[in-house]
Amino acid sequence: MDRRGFLWAGGGVLGAGALAWWQRNAIARAALSRRVSADLRLSAAPALANGTCVLTAEQDEGPFFVRAPVRRDIREDRAGLPLTLRMQVVRADTCRPVQGAAVEVWHCDAAGAYSGYRADLARKPVDTMLYLGGLDTHLEPTQPGTFLRGAQATGADGTVEFRTIFPGWYEPRVPHVHVKVFVDGTSYLTTQLYFPDDLARDIHASHPDYAPHGAPPYGLRNDLILGRRPQADGLLLRPERRGDGLVAGCRLGIA
């Protein structure tokens, strides 16, 4: 190859590399959305109305956990489809309610942003991973704000209730709610609660607070965390329509 040909070839490689970097998030999204978790075992969360109790499966804490203010209504200024979450903490082996357990929840808003963190990365999987430094890395908050975060102590019947909104989606995740349960200051459960794919698609297609952000390209079968932790017994919520919003209840079983 002569010098001119070498320069042309070198320029082509550099150009292709530049194009790949410029399209890095779209390329990553295409790859991530095509993966499928063949081992996923996701079952419905035990309903409050029946006597079923199971040991709730663990899931990743994620990078965005910070201790939340004690409150029932965690919406603050976030717009979205109202969602009431009712949870009961029980001992999985006896089904006895756990009184005084601290239950913390947090999730993203309709646009895919978490309070305390940059809001411009929700649709950029490569940039998000570079920002986080890895899936298992806790990231200290970099912005003010506490929206969609809250904590409550269970009563004698082991229950708490949160008023929130249906979570949005971000790369490369389906809508989900993070939950931690502490008893006497010790963490007994770290998990995530999920929603049926058809419900998530319908909300993101039709609700005015979600539609501008598009439908999630991910489902439960190709969610990144469920792919890493496919044993997800008791984590699928089945919300019911109530008035202008949704109500979802579940029982969380701890050891």
pLDDT (tens digit per residue) in 118-161:
888 888 888 888 877 766 788 899 999 999 999 999 999 999 99
Q: Which domains does the chain possess?
A: 35-254 (2.60.130.10)
pLDDT, residue 131, reads: 79
CA angle 154, 159, 162 (to 5 degrees): 95
Q: CA-CA-CA-CA torsion for 12, 13, 18, 24, nearest 10 degrees? A: 130
Q: Name residues of the chain where pLDDT drops below 50.
A: 1, 3-16
Please give the pLDDT value at position 32: 82
Label residue 215 exposed, middle or buried (CB < 10 Å: 0-12, 13-18, 19+).
Answer: middle
Report the side by side order of strands in the sheet with 102-106.
41-44, 231-236, 186-194, 176-183, 102-106, 149-153
Work out the widest C-alpha separation in the chain, in whole angstroms.
83
Residue 104, Cα to own-chain centre: how many angstroms?
14
Residues whose CB is less than 8 angstroms from the CB of residue 3 and which lie 6 or more positions away in sequence, other chains included: none
**Which one, of 104, 100, 86, lies nearest residue 158 by Cα?**
100
The reported pLDDT for the residue numbered 135 is 67
Q: How far apart are CA 255 and CA 54, in angstroms?
A: 10
122 burial class (0-12, 13-18, 19+ CB within 10 angstroms)? buried
pLDDT of residue 17: 54
187 DSSP β-pair partners: 182
Q: Dump strand ranges (E) for 30-70.
A: 41-44
Q: Say which residues have a Cβ less than 8 Å from residue 74's Cβ, sequence separation at least 6.
A: 68, 105, 147, 148, 149, 150, 162, 163, 164
Residue 69's pLDDT is 97
Where do we find the tokens 């990553």? 28
pTM of the predicted model as reported, rounded to 2 decimal places? 0.90
